[in-house]
Structure 1
Amino acid sequence: MAGFPVFPRLCPFELIYPAPDDPSKLAIAAGGYWLLSFLLMLVFGYEGWCRRGEFLSVFFSMLARFSPLDRDAAGRLSLCWPGAKLLDAPPLPLSAAAFLLLALSSVSFDGLMRTFFWLGLNGMNPLELPGRTAMIGTGSAGLVATFLLLALLFGVSILAGRWIAGSSLPFRQLSGLLVWSIVPIALAYHIAHYLTDVLVNGQYALVALSDPFALGWDLFGTAHLPVTAGIVAGADAAWWLWNMQAALIVGGHILAGARRSCRGLTIGACNVAGDIAAGSADRADGCLYAFRSLAARYAHRRLMPTVILGDRWSARPRAAPVGA
């Protein structure tokens, strides 16, 4: 399932529901989801539900591949480049691929629905907004359409690449391997999109942290912290916010492209192995020559230096994915 059945039901609460910030409605939604997760853990077991159905656990397990910490077969912790664990990620099932595409399409639509283009497309005057209640229908349709369009483009790209490369791998395996490239893009989009909210609402969170029940407490000395909403206002703030968001999005795409290139080399090796098994010696020799040339070019990028965290500090190369 990979979190796909639950996330589409909670995503409209933030993007489409008229009052997602209402404390009582938010408490009901969070409490209801906690109860649902608890019951499903009883049915499927803790490991089964958290690994396959609980969308936050599934999503954060995917993001964990950006962690600079890694654990080898002996159980030792080591340092590695962020995102290095994406190189040898196993293929995802179609439900997990759809979940990743939905995570990216939802935040993309969240940005689209705030533009004059989207309002004009729905015949609305930006200066006379009717409110979120009047836009539930168009918002819901737009959210679904954005996901379907992204899934269609992704599927067509996989099929086109499979045909051009002459790959014999099935669509399910190729999509499961290449959809991992969506992870850095989705992460970058989420950070860039919610950056201003974190900067402002994060200050309110610090205030509430010291007085969580509004009883006049000051547990951590932040209950009377002045909230500065102007931190994201003005020309100077717009300049550094825009540049930070642009750097995040560009960096996410660069990391996704690097991961996709390395995975393409692995898939190329699989195709060569298939040609050798089929007896196509001429084609196999040509593929092997091209593959070795590309592998030599990318070798220094794939052997990522790692430092062992233990009694002694030493450097070792990170093992390349199978098929390299």
Structure 2
Amino acid sequence: MTVAGETVLAHGVGGSTDLPLPLEYAMIGAAWALAISFAVLALAWRRPRLDPSTPGIALPLRITLTVDSGPSHALLGVLGVGFTSWVALAAFGGEPGPTNGAPGAFYVLLWVGIVPLSLLCGHVWAYLSPVRALHGAACWALRRDPAAGVWNYPARLGYWPAALGLLAFVWTELASPDPGALATVRVWLIAYLAYGVLGGLAFGRRWFERADPFDVYAAFVAALSPFGRRSPDDRRIVARNPLSNLAGLPVDRGIVAVVAVLLGSTAFDSATGTSWWMTQVQTWYAGSPGLAVAYKTLALLAMVLLVALVFVLAARATGGVTAVQRRAMPGELAHSLVPIVVGYVGAHYLSYLVEKGQRTVIALADPLDRGWDVLGIGGLQTSYWLSEHPHVLAVLKVGLVLTGHVLGVVAAHDRCIRVLPRAHHLTGQLALMLVMVGYTFLGLFLLFAG
């Protein structure tokens, strides 16, 4: 990955020969972990247990009142718009080069940072989002209800606009000619703000819930947060089993496409860091920027389509259901891929977020490269502690991948015994189980080979 003219190793630990944990040991451990998990579930988990309507543990009422208050929403909206404006200052007024923090803010703090933020705080992006804040301000000026639009959002679109928006973003990041160029960041800033505000005015709040790529991305990850609402009618904030919250992820058209883009693009990013890609594939387009974009675009699309196709076929490979139910199975089970996405993204970008994130924040203290130190951190140095401790980093990466896949198996198993006939509770999951094992092995292989 290239950001602001510098090459960034997303894995942060060099090549596979530098990893202190042998790949075959990680593979064996993964196989045992998934096999044991499935066996335990088959024997001990025979009725659905994950329910988003469970009461949970209520947090103090003042927390709910504070989070839902108008001043809190306004403050978070101002913070979101203010930070976006600061990044825009660097993008439009700063000098190109590694000291400009705008590309890092875009590709690191936003794209990667949205995962830990949403896991820890729930769907807080709904209040920090600059497009939601600007849309709310526009509705206030026009004296319109921000929940309503000029038209109703077409139900047939579902999540498809968000999936296409995410695909456009990952293409920009991973396959476009110069993703780290300030011009690229400028175009995305303008396009995203216009897309979000105009779409919100046209279709209301539903636009952000289904069509905004970053909002949908944050909402999917936030579904795995331990914090949720007691019920649609009782908005009290509660602490609940994260997998129960995940079971409540809204199912709609295009949901499989969203998770396929997220998982497939991360796998593609790993693949481009392997020695095979760098020594073999790159020779096919060496010296030709146009061919490089074409090859990367085709490979990215192929990886996303492969993830989606394999999952859809596995989800439909069950008996005892009608044709209509069989077609609905991929959507019903798509939520089980969210922990896998979170685990793989966390493992793939862990050191990238921690180390490049520090450098980005330090660079943003001086957005115009004029010697400013607005935050008082200009003299700080980036800590590379994680990269300097590869044993710790390797264990964290493998742990994140395995945890994500085990949680995915649990979520899929619970949904299967909820929607499948009793006679097919286990047999109906076998194809999906094999696919998840394959995802695990592929993820570990690419993680170690990069």
TM-score by length of 2: 0.54
Q: Give the structure 1 partner of residue 300 of structure 2.
A: 143
Runs (4+) of structure 1 exceeding 4 A deviation are 128-134
Q: Which of residues 178, 201, 208 is equivalent to 1:42? A: 201
Contact 1:89 1:177 in 2 (8 A): no
Distance 1:260 1:41, change over 3 A: same
Amino acid at match of 1:257: V
Read off the aligned partner of 2:353 and give its amino acid letter: V
Residue 330 of structure 2 is aligned to residue 175 of structure 1: yes
**Amino acid in structure 1 at the alignment position of 2:354:** L
Question: Which residue matches 1:23?
Answer: 182
Highest Rg: 1 or 2? 1
**Identical columns (%):** 25
Q: Which stretch has the larger CA shift, 56-65 or 3-12?
A: 3-12
From 339, 356, 367, give the equivalent of 1:184. 339
What letter matches 1:27 in structure 2?
R
Pair 132,103 (structure 1): closer, same or farther in 2 beyond 3 Å: farther
One-letter code aligned to 1:267: V
| Mean CA deviation greater in 208-217 or 167-176 | 208-217
Instruction: Tell me the amino acid that sits aligned with residue 239 of structure 1.
Output: H
Q: Residue 5 of structure 1 aligns to a residue in which SS?
A: helix
Q: CA deviation at 1:103?
A: 1.1
Q: Deviations over 1:54-84 (max 9, x none)?
A: 1111111111112221221332222123333
2:246 corresponds to 1:86: yes
Given the alignment, which residue of 281, 295, 314 partners 1:122? 281
User: Distance in 1 between the 2:237 and 2:208 partners?
Assistant: 24
Q: Kindly state the Cα deviation for residue 215 of structure 1 after the two structures are TM-superposed.
A: 4.0
Which residue of structure 2 lines up, in the alignment, with residue 208 of structure 1? 363
Local SS of the residue matching 2:242: coil
Cα pair distance change 1:215/1:119, threshold 3 Å: closer
- 2:305 is paired with a residue whose SS is helix
Name the counterpart of 1:222. 377
2:402 pairs, out of 236, 247, 250, with 250
SS in structure 2 at match of 1:70: strand
**d(CA) in 2 for partners of 1:133, 1:200:** 32
Write the deviation string for residues 144-180 of structure 1: whole angstroms up to 9, x where unpaired: 11112112211211222x23xx223523321111111
Question: Which residue in the other structure is 1:53 paired with?
Answer: 211
- Letter paired with 1:61: A
User: Between Structure 1 and Structure 2, how many residues are aligned?
Assistant: 264
The letter for the 2-side match of 1:68 is P
Contact 2:223 2:248 in 1 (8 A): no
Greater RCO (CA < 8 Å, at least 6 residues apart): 2
Q: Secondary structure at the match of 2:283?
A: coil
What's the Cα RMSD here?
2.6
- CA drift at 1:208: 3.1
TM superposition shift of 1:209: 4.1
Residue identity in the other structure for 1:150:
V
Q: Is the 8 A contact 1:68 1:81 kept in 2?
A: yes
Q: 2: CA distance between counterparts of 1:81 and 1:116?
A: 41
TM-score, normalisation: structure 1: 0.73
**1:195 pairs with 350, 355, 358, which one?**
350
> Could you tell me how far apart the structure 2 residues matched to 1:134 and 1:173 are?
39
* Contact 2:316–2:327 (8 Å) recurs in 1: no
| Unaligned residue ranges in structure 2 (runs of 5+) | 1-157, 427-450
Partner of 1:279: none
1:306-317 map, 5 Å: none
Cross-structure match for 1:63: 221
Report the alpha carbon displacement of residue 44 of structure 1 after superposing the two structures with TM: 2.0
The question of whether the paired residues in 2 share the 8 Å contact of 1:16 and 1:132 is answered with: no
SS of 2:238 mapped into structure 1: strand
Alpha-carbon distance change, 224 to 62 in structure 1, aligned in 2, over 3 angstroms:
same
- Measured against aligned partners, the alpha-carbon deviations of 1:85-133 in whole angstroms (never above 9, x if no partner) come to 123444x2331211111111011111011112234553629xx965866
1:216-236 CA distance string (max 9 Å, x none) = 3333321221234x44545xx
1:4 maps to which residue? Answer: 163
Helix, strand or coil: the match of 1:124?
helix
Question: Alpha-carbon deviation of 1:213?
Answer: 3.7
What is the aligned partner in structure 2 of residue 302 from structure 1? none
Post-superposition shift, 1:50?
0.2
Q: Is the 8 A contact 1:93 1:172 kept in 2?
A: no
Give, in whole Å, the separation in 2 of the partners of 1:123 and 1:101. Answer: 25
For residues 258-277 of structure 1, the aligned pairs below 5 Å read 258-268=410-420, 271=421
1:104 to 259, 263, 267: 263
Counterparts of 1:276-295 in structure 2, within 5 Å, are: 287=423
Residues 365 and 378, structure 2, Cα contact 8 Å, conserved in 1: yes
